[in-house]
Structure 1
Amino acid sequence: MSPFDAVLCDFDGVLRVHDARVQAGIDHGYGLAPGTVLATALSPALIGPAVLGEITFEEWEAALVTEFTGLLGSPERATRLVGEFMAVPARVDERVRELLALAQRHVPVVLVTNATTRLEEELDGLGLTLFADEVVSSARVGVAKPDRRVYELAAARAGAVPERCLFIDDRRENVEAATLLGMTGVHFREAEDLRRVWAEAGWE
Structure 2
Amino acid sequence: MITAVLWDFGGVLTTSPFEAFNRFEKEHGLPENFLRTVNSTNPDTNAWAKFERSEISADEFDGLFQSESSSLGHSVAGKEVIALLSGDIRPKMVAALKEISKDRKCYCLTNNVPAGQGPGMSRSEEARAAVAEVMSLFDEVIESSKIGMRKPDPKIYEYACNRMGVSADEVLYLDDLGINLKPAALMGMKTIKVISEQQALTDLGRALGQTYL
Change in Cα spacing, 1:163 to 1:60, as seen in structure 2 (3 Å) is same
Q: Please give the alpha-carbon distance, in whole angstroms, between the structure 2 residues aligned to 1:201 and 1:25.
A: 35
Larger mean CA deviation between 43-52 and 20-29 belongs to 20-29
**Could you tell me which amino acid in structure 2 is paired with residue 87 of structure 1?**
A
Mark the runs of 5 or more structure 2 residues left unpaired by the alignment: 122-127
Which SS does the other structure have where 2:88 is aligned?
strand
The counterpart of 2:88, out of the listed 87, 91, 103, is: 91
Residues 120-174 of structure 1 show CA distances to partners (whole Å, capped at 9, x for unaligned) of: 4433723334232111112222222222211111112122111111111111222
Between the aligned residues of both structures, percent identity stands at 22
Q: Which one of 143, 146, 155 corresponds to residue 152 of structure 2?
A: 146
Aligned residues: 196
Structure of higher CA gyration radius = 1
For 1:116 and 1:16, the matched residues in 2 are separated by 17
Aligned-pair distance for 1:21? 5.7
Match of 2:125 in 1: none
CA distance in 1, matches of 2:20, 2:109: 26
CA distance in 1, matches of 2:16, 2:27: 18
SS of equivalent residue, structure 2 residue 29: coil
- Name the CA shift for 1:18/1:176 in 2 (closer, same or farther; >3 Å): closer
Cα-Cα RMSD: 2.7
How far did 1:12 drift? 1.8
Alignment of 1:67-86 (within 5 A): 67-68=68-69, 71=73, 78-79=76-77, 82-86=78-82
Match of 2:138 in 1: 132
SS across alignment from 1:118? coil
Task: Give yes or no for contact 1:120–1:129 (8 Å, CA) kept in 2.
Answer: no
Task: Give the match for residue 37 of structure 1.
Answer: 35
